[in-house]
Amino acid sequence: MAKRTRSTAQFVICVKTDDPDLLTPRRIYQVLPDEGAAKSNYIRVIDNEGEDYLYPSEYFIFVEFPAAAERALLQASV
């Protein structure tokens, strides 16, 4: 049986926000890599305006989806 290779896409679910125009609780957001931000407990996500921005990591929970779901989420965000 072949081992499944994880995609590089990461996703989070928003659980808290201080600006509901930019982040919506219970919504799924794509995470963009940013090692510098991670060192400061921030993550870079594509927000409701379609812009990537840094937000406190405490606003989110990281989630893993099946490959088919990840593909659908990535296609939907284009």
DSSP of 15-44, one letter per residue? Answer: ---S-TTT--TT-EEEEE--HHHHHTTEEE
Report the domain count for the chain. 1
Q: In this structure, is residue 31 part of a structural domain?
A: yes
Q: In this structure, is residue 57 part of a structural domain?
A: yes
Whether 6 shows a pLDDT value over 90: the answer reads: no
pLDDT tens digits, residue range 27-76?
999 999 999 999 999 999 999 999 999 999 999 999 999 999 999 998 98
Q: In this structure, is residue 70 part of a structural domain?
A: yes
Q: Position 28: which residue type?
A: I
pLDDT for residue 16: 97
Give the whole-angstrom CA distance, residue 44 versus residue 23: 12
71-74 long-range CB contacts below 8 Å, 24 or more apart? Answer: 73/9, 73/11, 73/28, 73/30, 74/9, 74/30
Q: Print the domain residue range for 16.
A: 10-76
CATH number of domain containing 44? 2.30.30.40
Q: Is the Cβ–Cβ distance between 14 and 25 less than 8 Å? A: yes
